[in-house]
Amino acid sequence: MTKKGERAVVRGLKDVAAAETKISFVEPKGFLYYLGYNIDDLVGRVVYPEVAFLLIHKRLPNRQELDQFNACLISEMKLPERMVESIRATPKSCHPMDILRTEVSRLGECDPENNDLSEAANLRRATRLVARVPTIVATIHRVRLDKPIPVPREDFSFTENFLYMFKGSPPEEAETDVLHRLMILQADHGFNASTFAARVTASTNSDMYSAVTSAIGTLKGPLHGGAGEKVMEMLDDIGLEEHVEEYIQGLLDENKKIMGFGHRVYKAEDPRTKHLRGIVRNLCYRDRTNSLCNKCSKIEKIVHDRKKIYPNLDFYSAVAMDALDVPKEFFTPFFASSRISGWVAHVIEQYEDAVLLRPSSKYVGEFGRKFIPIEQR
């Protein structure tokens, strides 16, 4: 409060700590920690399900626990038939994020232990969501292509199965490796907007599916997870490499935002960027990836020179997903397929905190307006 009854507004909640968390720490100088582990120590050394286990159970699994977790994820991947039917009934003009948001909400209807809100049931629900969000995404893609939906294979890892179900053929080892790294980098990120939305919903003691549905709606926006699709639209729109300078300078002259740049917390380079740069450089034997990478390097330099800002997660992850042959409208659904592990971990932590997240506002509207009945208006 400032004066009597007057509240200080922190616009955009910038730098406001809304709760305590042990799950991840976004350090403005350019570091990211999951449960105390620097992501630089995890990427390339662990697989994605290890990170999902870490976020949900707050510790790394041993070999046996990881094998069990992976098997459990695979056994939960298959969707109830009525969900597949519902996806088939959706017009193909719908954006995959809209379908994903609806189908995650429907997962709540299909939950086998709907009335059990115990901690143990929530852990099982969290695992089911980590398993099924990627399957919903893969099913949306297969249905849009009018192609069969592969049944998850027990001889494949969870991440391999995601690509297998999405593409319809067994992925190459190198592709699965890229996806593990990408999913690890996308898994969690402090109180980002979608995670915060999930926690607000969970703070009312609403169920996990409702919380994740809130998160998906929030991730969709182009200032958050929707940025990746916009990055690819921009890269395609630029056309030839030699048009980069004019195109980007033109946007900056008009004070337009360059998608995939800037960050609310990082004041230095986003610590995920160096890993993503490495991933896409390794894929530059592909002509299209090479050309996209060249454009990206030029854009990075121009934007940094003019605005002193850096690429964020969505910039090079767009190029990585393109190299995996993921169509751009599926970039945000892929992001959701990884961030689900962070969302459910935060929802569980919010239940533990057991406090309603409900800010106040500063009223700047009118008082004492004279009421006029409808007949006289």
Residues lying near ligand CMC in the complex (CB under 6 A) are found at 12, 192, 223-225, 227, 257-264, 307, 309, 312-314
Of 277, 76, 73, 104, the closest CA to residue 182 belongs to 277
Least distance from ligand CMC to the Cβ atom of residue 64, Å: 35
As measured in angstroms, the least distance from the Cβ of 16 to ligand CMC is: 13
Q: Which is nearer to ligand CMC, 79 or 231 (CB)?
A: 231
Sole residue written with tokens 């059990």: 116
Query: Rounded to the nearest whole angstrom, what is the least distance from the CB of residue 92 to ligand CMC in the complex?
Result: 26
Answer whether 307's CB lies under 8 Å from 261's CB: yes
> Which residue number, 13 or 60, has a Cβ lying nearer to ligand CMC?
13
Q: Find the shortest distance in angstroms from Cβ 303 to ligand CMC.
A: 7
CA distance 229 to 260: 9
Of 254 and 366, which CB lies nearer to ligand CMC in the complex structure? 254
Give whichever of 156 and 335 is closer to ligand CMC, judged by the CB atom: 335
Q: Which is nearer to ligand CMC, 12 or 368 (CB)?
A: 12
Strands 31-34 and 37-38, sheet pairing: antiparallel
Main-chain dihedrals φ then ψ at residue 249, nearest 5 degrees: -60, -35
By C-beta, is 149 or 219 nearer to ligand CMC? 219
Catalytic residue from among 263, 275, 322, 346: 263
Question: Least distance to ligand CMC from the beta carbon of 83, Å?
Answer: 27
- The residue (of 314 and 322) whose beta carbon lies closer to ligand CMC is 314
Q: What is the nearest approach in angstroms of ligand CMC to the Cβ of residue 123?
A: 26
Residue of 188, 207, 314, 322 marked catalytic = 314
Minimum CB–partner distance for residue 9 and ligand CMC (Å): 15
Q: How far apart are the first and last CA of the chain?
A: 38
**Cα separation of 325 and 171, whole Å?**
11
The verdict on whether 287 is a catalytic residue reads no
Residue 314 is a catalytic residue: yes
Which residue's Cβ has the minimum distance to ligand CMC? 262
Cα 127–chain centre separation: 17
Active-site residue list: 263, 314
